[in-house]
Structure 1
Amino acid sequence: MNPVVTNKVIISGKSNQPLAKKIAKELGLSLGRCEVKQFSDGESYVHIGEEVKGRIVYVVQSGSYPANHYLMEMLALIQAAKMLQPKRVVAVVPFFPYRRMEKTIKPGESLTFELVANLFHAVGIDKIIVMDLHKHRSKRFFKFQRKELRAFPMIIERLKQKKLHNFVCVAPDKGSMPESKRYARELGVPLVKSFKMRKKHDEAIISRLEGDVRGKDIIIVDDEINTAGTLAGVVDKLKQQKARNIYFACTHGVLSGPAIERLVKMRIREVIVTDTIDIPPEKMIGKIKQISVAKLFAEAIQEDR
């Protein structure tokens, strides 16, 4: 076994055990012994059976649905690990809960991202490893070491497998434009900008496109796909403008509410997501292709001292 990882233990909650197992395998490890269950009243019970004294413990847990439950489960795992006198405890959070609540819009709202960060600080983590936060300004809320990974190289690798001579990259909204520019530059394709008006919370209308898409194959990139409302609006507008095949790629496949129903009806060829979220089988429709980011997390853990 690699001596760099012999003092490291990977503990997994229940939200994304497939990814945790892949990360451990990349490191030549097995998951540490751990019991996680739920009482009949909904409360969480955890017990770490692995010897962790003097070792670095990495607790892997995504803050996916049901976010509140998995967040509490992770806090319990971290506390249990801390009580066993480890060298350090590192939270590995591929999908950070309440990622979009990093600012308030009106008085009386909760700054929930900060609240979650404070909970991690209160329970005593030494470091957090996350992937593609919704806004980079969110990092200011972490009062401990943090490392943000990017799914960019894995998604680029997948997209480069396609013949890109007739492609353009479309930024679905203003917030995604900087990252879309980065993708367009790396792929060597033109960038088209779209501008949206929000019809309601989970549905958007695209008012205009800035760039030519007629007869072009399309790559749309974003950090996540939640209800697929914005994507549906962009795809409709692109098809009105006579675009050809449309592909979408993002880091986090949230796929909540009407997302799957919308994707089934949507005139889109492929939806590429990573495995930061464990997508249940009933949501893995044929259009969805999942790529793994386990290697990126394993490298971050291996480099961690």
Structure 2
Amino acid sequence: MLRLKQLFKNQNREIMKKEIESQVLFFSGNGNHALGASTLRKFSEFAGTDCVFQHINFASFADREPDNRIPQYEKIAGKIVVFYQSMFTQELAEESLELIWTLKKQYGAIYLIAVFPFLRFRRQDHPEKKHEINRLKMIIDRLAHAGADEMIVATPHSEQMAENCDQYGIKFHHVDPSGFFAETIKTYLPTKTDGLTHVYAPDLGSVPRAVTLAKLLNGSVLYSVKKRDLNDETDIISLTTEKTKEISDKLQTNYNFPQINYAHPESIKGKIIIMVEDEVSTGDTANRTGRHLKKCGAASIFFLATHAVLTPGWRNKLFHENPFEKIIMTNSITRDYEKRTGGFIHDISLSLPLATTIYQAVKNRLQQGTP
């Protein structure tokens, strides 16, 4: 019986391999192509075939208008296309829109899966702020009109991304690196922590990520509440005991996780604190938060962030009176030589979780049949 099951599994794998080879094409923009290449190698391992990115000639006219071309465009009609791009600049955003439109609307791809380890405008996602342009919603609207059918993104800033995708008819997939963060951070922690490990959410928006990581580490969650002023500066708000209990009870119920409590100084003293954020931009907020935790008596502080945005001057701000034992970031955005730190930052790759998610999306589409 076991041999029959294995034979059936092997036959299904061989069928999937042939369907991928005959029906799926892969394209990449210029945004962090190294991660795209390693992701496609992982995908090829799952598929049992040697997948490659189709060639794109990237060029521009004398007036700097784009002149990108796809030499073997005749292969695209009727195919499922996977398009990869880490969209961390405006130029890469426009390149993505142009290429997705070209693949889908001009050359006739029947279905398009867009893979964005980092999505431009991800933080501009506040519909309640009427004075701000909702650029996250705008870019998702434009991607839908360009032809994206599915979208894979690592660590969204909030649930607004999934809601916007649903509004515009794009199937959304969230790649969560928490498992990789957990395995990496364990190598830096003592063998026995005996309840000393707390995952710290610097604001309420970070609580979902903190809960996921705390469960993987068998730890608990501490949170703070912040306010952001018109200059985008943040400060921790002091709350009454009654208010913190009200918030904690609500969070514990919402996440079905009783180990969520407000970060009082006495709950931090002598503890191992793991800060978790979706991104690092200037580095200033993370640094100030880390130094605050240090003043509260934290035994050691680790900082985890998915997206290394790292705006000019970030290094001096992030490492000012460096409060961190270790910083861990993913490679959703390429961190070139000029942004290296001499070992202060531990890099982890998103290639495996991205490849797993892409493979499942492709497999589901092939099993469902093209629309």
Normalising by structure 2, what TM-score?
Answer: 0.75
User: Is 1:225 aligned with 2:280?
Assistant: yes
Q: Which of 338, 341, 356 is matched with 1:299 structurally?
A: 356
Does the Cα contact within 8 Å between 2:82 and 2:114 map onto a contact in 1? yes
| Aligned equivalent of 2:135, options 106, 112, 126 | 112
Secondary structure of the equivalent of 2:214? helix
- Measured after TM superposition, the shift of residue 31 of structure 1 is 1.9
Alpha-carbon distance in structure 2 between the residues aligned to 1:237 and 1:38: 49
- Quote the offset at 1:237 in angstroms: 0.8
Name the SS for the 1:212 alignment partner.
helix
User: Would you say 1:125 and 2:140 are equivalent positions?
Assistant: no
| Aligned-partner Cα distance in 1 for 2:69–2:209 | 41
- Match of residue 11 from structure 1: 27
Deviation, 1:275, is 1.4
Quote how far apart the aligned CAs of 1:192 are. Answer: 2.2
8 Å CA contact 1:205–1:233 kept in 2: the answer is no
Look up the equivalent residue of 1:260 and give its one-letter code. Answer: R
Matching residue within 73, 87, 92 for 1:63: 87
Cα distance in 2 for partners of 1:116, 1:259 equals 27
Match of 2:189 among 155, 163, 176: 163
- Quick check: which one's strand share is greater? 1
Amino acid at match of 2:226: K
Shift of 1:178: 2.9
1:248 to 288, 293, 303: 303
Q: Quickly say closer, same or farther: Cα 1:70–1:243, change in 2 above 3 A.
A: same
Task: Return closer, same or farther for 1:4/1:214 CA change in 2, 3 Å cut-off.
Answer: farther
Q: Which residue of 1 aligns with 2:58?
A: 36
TM superposition shift of 1:247 = 0.9
Which whole-Å CA distance do the structure 2 matches of 1:204 and 1:150 have between them? 26
- Bigger-Rg structure (1/2): 2
Q: 1:180 to 1:201 in 2, by over 3 A?
A: farther
Please report how far the alpha carbon of residue 204 of structure 1 lies from its aligned counterpart in structure 2 after TM superposition: 3.2
| Deviation per residue, 1:157-178 (Å, 9 max, x gap) | 2223333514322111122123
Distance 1:43 1:151, change over 3 A: farther
Amino acid of the structure 1 residue aligned with 2:207: M
Is the 1:63–1:71 contact (alpha carbons within 8 Å) kept by the matching residues of 2? Answer: yes
Give me the whole-angstrom Cα distance separating, in 2, the residues matched to 1:118 and 1:190.
38
1:263 corresponds in structure 2 to 318
Compared CA separation, residues 242 and 139, structure 1 to 2 (3 A): same
- The runs of 5 or more residues in structure 2 that have no matched partner are 1-13, 45-50, 239-262, 366-371
Relative to structure 1, the CA distance from residue 114 to residue 26 in structure 2 (aligned partners, 3 Å threshold; closer, same or farther) is same
Distance 1:177 1:146, change over 3 A: closer
Q: Name the structure where helix makes up a greater proportion of residues.
A: 2
Deviates more, 1:43-52 or 1:173-182: 43-52
Matched, 1:176 2:206: yes
SS at match of 2:328: strand
Would the alpha carbon gap of residues 302 and 177 (structure 1) be closer, same or farther in structure 2, given more than 3 Å must change?
A: closer
Q: 1:207 to 1:79 in 2, by over 3 A?
A: closer
| Whole-angstrom distance in 2 between the partners of 1:152 and 1:49 | 40
Q: Is 1:234–2:249 an aligned residue pair?
A: no
On the 8 A contact 1:5/1:27 being kept in 2, the answer is no
- SS, match of residue 223 in structure 2: strand
User: 1:53 touches 1:85 (CA, 8 Å); kept in 2?
Assistant: yes
The alpha carbon displacement at 1:58 in A equals 1.1
TM-score, normalised by the number of residues in structure 1: 0.90
Which residue number corresponds to residue 36 of structure 2?
20
Choose the corresponding residue for 1:288, options 345, 362, 365: 345
Q: In the alignment, residue 36 of structure 2 is paired with which amino acid? A: A
Aligned pairs, how many? 303
Could you list the runs of 5+ residues in structure 1 that have no partner in the other structure?
Answer: none
Give 1:4 deviation, angstroms. 4.9
Cα distance between partner residues in 2 of 1:262 and 1:140:
34
Deviations 1:127-171 (A, max 9, x none): 211222111133222222222221222222222333351432211
Offset of residue 105 of structure 1: 5.0
Deviation digits for residues 257-281 of structure 1 (CA, Å, limit 9, x no counterpart): 4322212323212221111111222
Partner SS for 2:67 = strand
- Please list the CA deviations of residues 241-299 of structure 1 after superposition, one character each: whole Å capped at 9, or x if unmatched: 12232111121111124322212323212221111111222112122221111111212
